[in-house]
């Protein structure tokens, strides 16, 4: 009879030296901590100092966040680098630095936000949450300020302070506590009912509606007594792709069992066919050529056909010339040159060799340029011997 396997003990977390950290400016502050931009051994990082609040179990909160960060090894989750203890004794969490702002900046800011970019963001968030749920982790505080955007236009989920293991039994579901941000909360959280991982899907649906309408979720009206969101309170633009709106509305279903799975969400997003111009810089609201071809292909329909691919603008390097300067006799190489305008004349010279001879050399005839070259060559021979190619 096979013996039951015991779970492996958690791996020790990497401890970083405070002397290796250089702190720069503060970039964010919340109820539970402050985040500063910094460097760790030359690498840009974000350093989060967690506050020791009197009514919060600091050790439990801190342990929960760092364990979740360590488990969240996914391209669309913030990369955990380690823990550092400040000189004054405070513990800090060190993660990669993501410099493109957060999703709220895109939703509420003036920059262009094409539908193709919104779908790309929706895919990134769904991939991250699907991964977390597969690891039995529930985020429980999904919102725009916790979704960072990289310089290449990719979304990364951060702030795992409320993350906990997914409940697997009815008794565990009863122990899941009230937490999160009101505008993104599922009805079952507000009503203090038993809840499960689908609360993240509800929050995800609210974020989709924010991206669709470019409206703060606090403006979405809640309907009593169930605390569901009234679809009539959402300003939907006329050019919104209908499948995207339908997906968002299905995610905010009042009943958790009626919400789609992550597989259904990802399949729906993959089949969306939106048509936008995406030729601008990502920090101005669009995708760039630096975005991988794989991510571009993911935005095409399920047939695998890429509907819009950003062209690659290749610039071949200039090759060094083996022609010899008519003035000094050395190879032209990569240096700037001056040539005679007469096509039949083969005289070329380094710009530096003929510039000092007089103004307008580049506009003179072939005979005059030849004269300049000859005089330069003679002076060079007198000083250095016969000019030789290098």
Sign of CA dihedral 261, 269, 251, 70: positive
2 domain-assigned: no
The Cα angle at residue 144 between residues 140 and 145, in degrees rounded to 5: 90
> Which element (helix H / strand E) includes 295?
helix 293-298
- Alpha carbon distance 42, 15 (integer Å): 17
- Alpha carbon distance 33, 37 (integer Å): 14
Residues 267 and 328 in one domain: no
313 domain-assigned: no
- Alpha carbon distance 157, 83 (integer Å): 19
72 domain-assigned: yes
Residues 333 and 363 in one domain: yes
CATH assignment of the domain containing 109: 1.10.510.10
Residues 91 and 192 in one domain: no
pLDDT computed for residue 315 by the predictor: 40
Query: Of 266, 298, 330, which one is at a domain's C-terminal end?
Result: 298
Q: Is 30 helix (H, G, I), strand (E, B) or coil?
A: coil
Residues 71 and 160 in one domain: no
Residues 235 and 275 in one domain: yes
Residues 29 and 163 in one domain: no
Residues 347 and 239 in one domain: no
Contact 21, 84 (CB under 8 A): yes
The four Cα atoms 293, 296, 297, 300 give a dihedral, to 10 degrees, of -160
Task: Report strand pairing: 337-339 vs 348-350.
Answer: antiparallel
Residues 60 and 87 in one domain: yes
DSSP state of 16: E
- Alpha carbon distance 206, 227 (integer Å): 13
CATH assignment of the domain containing 55: 3.30.200.20
The per-residue pLDDT string of the chain (390 residues; one tens digit each, 9 = 90 and over) reads 455 455 555 667 788 999 999 999 998 887 778 899 999 999 999 999 887 766 666 667 677 778 888 888 899 999 999 999 887 777 899 999 999 999 999 999 998 999 999 999 999 999 999 999 999 999 989 999 999 999 999 999 998 877 765 544 444 444 445 577 899 999 998 888 888 899 999 999 999 999 999 999 999 999 988 899 999 999 999 999 999 999 999 999 999 999 999 999 999 999 998 866 544 444 544 443 333 433 433 443 333 333 443 343 444 444 566 778 887 877 777 666 676 655 556 677 877 777 655 444 444 444 555 565 556 555 554 444 444 433
22 domain-assigned: yes
pLDDT computed for residue 180 by the predictor: 78
Give DSSP secondary structure letters for 174-212.
Answer: HTPPP-S-GGG--HHHHTT----THHHHHHHHHHHHHHH
Beta-ladder partners of 85: 91
pLDDT computed for residue 303 by the predictor: 39
What predicted TM-score, i.e. pTM, was given to this entire model? 0.67
Residues 337 and 236 in one domain: no
Compute φ and ψ for 229, nearest 5 degrees.
-90, 135
Query: Of 96, 129, 156, which one is at a domain's C-terminal end?
Result: 96
7 domain-assigned: no
112 domain-assigned: yes
The Cα angle at residue 50 between residues 166 and 146, in degrees rounded to 5: 55
Residues 64 and 114 in one domain: no
252 domain-assigned: yes
Range of the domain at 186: 103-298
Contacts 24+ apart (CB under 8 A), 340-349: 340/364, 340/365, 340/366, 340/369, 341/365, 342/366, 345/369, 345/370, 347/373, 348/323, 349/325, 349/373, 349/376
Annotated binding-site residue? 318: no
328 domain-assigned: yes
- Alpha carbon distance 285, 204 (integer Å): 21
Q: Which are the contacts of 1, defined by CB distance < 8 A and separation ≥ 6?
A: none
Q: Is 119 helix (H, G, I), strand (E, B) or coil?
A: helix
Residues 158 and 138 in one domain: yes
Residues 203 and 257 in one domain: yes
Q: Is 222 helix (H, G, I), strand (E, B) or coil?
A: strand
Query: Of 49, 80, 96, which one is at a domain's C-terminal end?
Result: 96
Any idea which residues carry the catalytic annotation? 141
Domain count, the chain: 3
């Amino acid at each position: 009879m096979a013996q039951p396997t015991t779970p492996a003990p958690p791996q020790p977390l990497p401890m970083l030296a405070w002397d290796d950290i250089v702190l720069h400016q503060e970039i964010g502050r919340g109820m539970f901590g402050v985040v500063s931009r910094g460097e760790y051994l030359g690498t840009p990082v974000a350093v989060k100092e967690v506050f020791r609040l009197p009514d919060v179990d600091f050790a439990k909160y801190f342990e929960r966040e760092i364990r979740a960060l360590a488990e969240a090894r996914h391209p669309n989750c913030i990369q955990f680098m380690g823990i550092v203890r400040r000189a004054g004794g405070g513990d800090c969490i060190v993660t990669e630095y993501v410099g493109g702002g957060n999703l709220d900046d895109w939703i509420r800011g003036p920059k262009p936000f094409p539908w193709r970019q919104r779908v790309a963001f929706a895919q990134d968030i769904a991939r991250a949450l699907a991964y977390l749920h597969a690891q039995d982790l529930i985020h429980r505080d999904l919102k725009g300020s916790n979704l960072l955007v990289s310089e290449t236009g990719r979304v990364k989920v951060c702030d795992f302070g409320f993350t906990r293991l997914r409940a697997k039994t009815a008794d565990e579901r009863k122990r899941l506590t009230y937490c999160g941000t009101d505008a993104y909360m599922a009805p079952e959280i507000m009503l203090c009912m038993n809840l499960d991982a689908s609360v993240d899907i509800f929050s995800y649906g609210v974020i989709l509606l924010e991206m669709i309408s470019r409206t703060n979720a606090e403006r979405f009206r809640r309907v009593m007594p169930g605390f569901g969101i009234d679809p009539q309170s959402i300003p939907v633009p006329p050019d919104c792709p209908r499948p995207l709106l339908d997906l968002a509305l299905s995610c905010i279903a009042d009943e958790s069992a009626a919400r789609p799975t992550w597989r259904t969400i990802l399949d729906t997003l993959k089949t969306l066919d939106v048509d936008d111009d995406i030729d601008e810089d990502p920090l101005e609201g669009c995708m760039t050529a630096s975005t991988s071809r794989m991510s571009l292909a993911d935005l095409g329909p399920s047939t695998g056909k890429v509907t819009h691919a950003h062209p690659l603008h290749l610039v071949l390097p200039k090759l060094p010339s083996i022609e010899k300067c008519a003035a000094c006799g050395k190879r032209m190489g990569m240096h700037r040159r001056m040539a005679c305008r007469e096509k039949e004349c083969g005289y070329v010279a380094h710009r530096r060799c003929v510039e000092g001879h007089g103004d307008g050399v580049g506009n003179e005839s072939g005979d005059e340029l030849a004269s300049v070259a000859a005089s330069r060559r003679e002076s060079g021979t007198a000083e250095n011997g016969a000019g030789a190619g290098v």
